[in-house]
Amino acid sequence: MTSYILRRLLGVIPVLALVAIAAFLLIHLVPGDPAMVMLGSDASPQQVQALRAQLGLDRSLPVQFIVWLRLVLRGNLGDSFFLGRPVTQALIERLPATMQLAVLSLILSLLIGVPAGLIAAVRQNTWWDQLVMATAIGGISVPSFWLGLAMILVFSVQLGWLPSGGYTPLWENLWQGLRSLTLPAVSLGAMQAALIARMTRSSMLEVLRQDYVRTARSKGLGHWLVVLKHALKNAMIPVITTIGTAFGVLLGGAVVVEIVFTFPGLGRLVVLAVQRRDYPLVQGALLLTSVIYVAVNLAVDLLYCVCDPRIKYE
């Protein structure tokens, strides 16, 4: 197992290296001169030249990459043009809000998806099953931002139950924080909840057909005891492996949902950065989220290998 963990840890290095190269090359995909594009058409040649020097664009590509990478490894992602301060600072300030949103969405989607899929599997081909599966396929078809807008209209405007936007950190005021996170988290998590419900159902159906479940039943164990204690544990394995991926999707999806709820997270920062062609900021956000994603996936894999002794270490 130790060698598996080691190999898994080492395997992260080439992926992170490629992620860094991709993020670095992004600026170089800009058609024409990035400095000119960033400054606009009315910039003087001196200004363009100065920015080119600042970005290091006047040096060769490999040299630029090494210079950039050394800075990045020290946590320096450059300066944002429009915020006029370090990208790292701006990102770290916005990260907690987005992380709270993504984590809460993940928890919600598991809390909704797993029981729903379980009921659908146990009551296969009844109207329970049909209701869950119909809702689930609807859930994966509705765009998150549209669901968010609809919920604002119903729960904020009509009923006045929940705020339509804004953000209170959970550690400052738990109740207010949860209230401001509820609608964004539900609209972000709905699609993942639907996917998890579908996956739980199909995995559960497979497990319920297995011999050991029949043995447990024939021992005279109660129906729900068999389902919850014996079958669910094994049925959750494929669901758990997708948690890492789901988290990545939520982190990216947060960008769109944050716009709907005027939520001051990473996503809104990135969208502003895109509109202002603030490339270092876009680059930094991309790098940060992918590193988080790789780290979460690594953690899930390692936890998983500790929890499930049957996993193959190749």
Which runs of consecutive H residues, i.e. helices, occur in the chain?
Answer: 2-28, 34-39, 45-55, 61-73, 87-122, 127-139, 144-151, 174-208, 211-218, 223-225, 232-241, 243-260, 266-275, 279-307
Minimum CB separation from another protein for residue 144, in Å? Answer: 8
CB-based contact 27:34 (threshold 8 Å):
yes
Binding mask 85-124 for another protein (x = CB under 8 A): ----------------------------------------
Q: If you compute the radius of gyration of the chain from its CA atoms, what whole number of angstroms results?
A: 24
The total of other beta-carbon atoms located within 10 Å of residue 158's CB is 9
* CA 191/CA 141 separation, integer angstroms: 8
Does residue 68 interact with another protein by CB under 8 A? no
Minimum CB separation from another protein for residue 120, in Å? Answer: 11
Q: Which range in 60-68, 82-90, 109-117, 281-289 contacts another protein by CB under 8 A?
A: 281-289
Nearest to 83 by CA among 288, 282, 273: 273
Q: Considering only residues 41, 141, 172, 310, which one is a binding residue for another protein as defined by CB under 8 A?
A: 141
Binding mask 145-184 for another protein (x = CB under 8 A): xx--xx-xx---x---------------------------
Does residue 252 interact with another protein by CB under 8 A? yes
**Chain center to CA of 88:** 19
**Contact footprint for another protein (CB under 8 A):** 14-15, 18-19, 22, 26-27, 29-31, 137-138, 140-146, 149-150, 152-153, 157, 198, 201-202, 248-249, 251-253, 255-256, 259-260, 267, 270-271, 273-275, 277, 279, 282-283, 285-286, 289-290, 293-294
